[in-house]
Structure 1
């Protein structure tokens, strides 16, 4: 029996926004590409585009050999879990697409495998080429067989709650297409190279995520709406390792030793913390090691407000608030009930960054904060789309370094270092 591999991807620029899919079929034995396609589909969401890519790939495979066994490889965890029957398809707009994909081959001939985005580069290239005005057409394929009476396993009531074993605060989101590189010189011509001496000294933000708490360990949402909890024993050790790392690191060497390149006397280290108990405890350990008497507490550096999701696991949120969670994953304007949208979070955290830089221009500032604020600043520094915050994962007690220059240039000098 013929064995085929389908690689499929879909995405939109804006989510929702201009969307496309890419798909190809390989011979399983040789890896040879037998057919490929990339098409635009108007304005829609990432999830719809992912399903459209799967449908296109399965149709290509069916045209090659309707009796083949097929392994469909996608970088969308959502589509893989739903089509495998482990997640219930709750979004009404996705059910017809799942049904359309399921009916292309008889039951049992298709299996679904999640792959990292890096291993789905060929399909990603096809969809981005299509969005850039270079679609790839496929040969005409015969109509798929008539649909079965019901969706079957893809609408099973039981979800496999794999999120319980994911790292703390990891979100199962679908990677979107890479943003195209800037083509117009004027878009980047005003920025100097970061190694240019004309830029002058940067203001350096050393972002430290607080150490582990019982809620971190339990993998529940722990936001900025409550002062607690405190660090647990593991979190205390993480705070001590972060403090020791900072005391011995080059980034604070000039401040601590008085050997700044400018020749000026060294200023005292600066430590800023969000008002949450876990960040203040972490900051206290760091300040003690650095010899800092006072910690500046800034409530704008608090964690994202999760509202009704506070204290719940991702699995529990998926069960109780499926529509709200889907919206939060799909658009930056949606917020948890009683919580903050990503747009609100971006505004608050970039404002906190700008105020900190204005107050401590040219200095190195240790900011003890939370997972989501660090994600926001890393994403903003890289000029990545806001949805990218759901694909970043700073660990408890980790250190991230961002340098900001007077002309607006910023660099991500280090991310998620784990002492």
Structure 2
């Protein structure tokens, strides 16, 4: 089945670790979303509950009449005490640079009081399993976040954490995959399209 993974448009805070911090889409962000969905047809839309994803997904569902499901598992990574800050600001603190390096290279490392990549991958795996379990509602559009989309690609393609940084997923990027389950029940996918904003 085809699944389009769409990162919400820009909020004007590119470079900030906005996990639970939830600024609204900027006008450019709305434009990015509309260009990525214009003249496209999906039978259902699944969205993160965060407003920067949900607001645009809900508008698209209203305009097209397709089903909309809000799934908390598609929320962005919880950056804990780093949430809303820039990497440069965090790196400037004592020990911050080393912790950031560990965070981006070891899936078990979490931001202080936050969530690890392994935790994120576990909930994205659940979210993808729900989508793959109901293939009659394909194709599907998932409106989510950069970290969640990377976790989805890791789950479907078997990519390791360090490999995830080799693909730029800017706000407004749409990545289409053809996905399913093998005879063993394990998920598989191939990327069929990447559309940068």
Q: Same fold (TM over 0.5)?
A: yes
Give the distance between the partners of 1:374 and 1:342, measured in 2 at CA: 12
Question: What is the CA deviation profile of residues 71-96 of structure 1, one whole-angstrom value per residue up to 9, with x for unaligned ones?
Answer: xxxxxxxxxxxxxxxxxxxxxxxxxx
1:214–1:232: 8 Å Cα contact kept in structure 2? yes
1:323 offset after TM fit, Å?
A: 3.2
1:394–1:416: 8 Å Cα contact kept in structure 2? no
1:324–1:335: 8 Å Cα contact kept in structure 2? no
2:53 to 279, 298, 303: 279
1:39-188 equivalent positions in 2, closer than 5 A: none
- 1:221 lines up with 2:17 in the alignment: yes
Structure 2 counterpart of 1:305 = 78
Segments of 5+ residues of structure 1 without an aligned counterpart are 1-202, 253-268
Q: 1:318 to 1:353 in 2, by over 3 A?
A: same
- 1:374 lines up with 2:170 in the alignment: no
1:394-409 equivalent positions in 2, closer than 5 A: 394-407=169-182, 408=186
- Which SS does the other structure have where 2:192 is aligned? strand
1:245 offset after TM fit, Å?
A: 5.0
1:346 offset after TM fit, Å?
A: 1.0
Give the distance between the partners of 2:17 and 2:33, measured in 1 at CA: 21
1:222–1:306: 8 Å Cα contact kept in structure 2? yes
Give the distance between the partners of 2:81 and 2:167, measured in 1 at CA: 23
- 1:341 lines up with 2:116 in the alignment: yes
Structure 2 counterpart of 1:241 = 35
Structure of higher CA gyration radius:
1
2:11–2:23: 8 Å Cα contact kept in structure 1? yes
Q: CA RMSD in A?
A: 2.0
Q: 1:322 to 1:243 in 2, by over 3 A?
A: same
